[in-house]
A = this chain, B = another copy of it.
Amino acid sequence: MLGTSSPCSELEDQRLADLGKSLAHPARIRILRLLLATPGCIGGDIVDAVGLAQSTVSEHLRILKASGVITGEISGPRVCYALNPEALSLLADFVASLKLPANDACCIPEPKDAP
């Protein structure tokens, strides 16, 4: 039906929501903090730091990786996780746009009702 009607809303809303979801759990925030603070962080240390089961931490890492916020590179028997802050640029820009005075940042959401 609609599909490509909206130039910049539908898809971007979903993408922004995915990025928000990747930040929507304290364990994932903590993981990001650890990656920021640790020069060359690896998984085992993350498990200790967050205090959850290894499988649970692995799942959080999977979510962060899926949203692109972190990268995981196999390095021998371990995996090197690293921040990929560029993935959050879209979210950062959106949040920043909310602080600007009332302007039409992108496009005005249109009612579903079509003429």
**Contact surface of A with B, Cβ cutoff 8 Å:** 9-10, 13-14, 16-17, 19-26, 28-30, 32-40, 42, 45, 48-51, 73, 75-76, 78, 80, 82-83, 85, 88, 91-92, 94-99, 102-113
Oligomeric state, in number of copies? 2
In the complex the two chains form, what is the Cα distance from A42 to B95 in whole Å?
A: 21
A19: which B residues are within 8 A, CB to CB?
A: 23
Tell me if A108 and B20 are in contact (CB < 8 A): no
8 residue pairs bridging A and B, Cβ less than 8 Å apart: A17-B28, A36-B97, A36-B102, A37-B104, A49-B109, A85-B99, A85-B102, A92-B95
| 10 pairs of A and B residues whose beta carbons are closest in the complex | A20-B23, A21-B24, A20-B24, A80-B107, A51-B112, A13-B26, A85-B99, A85-B98, A13-B29, A17-B26
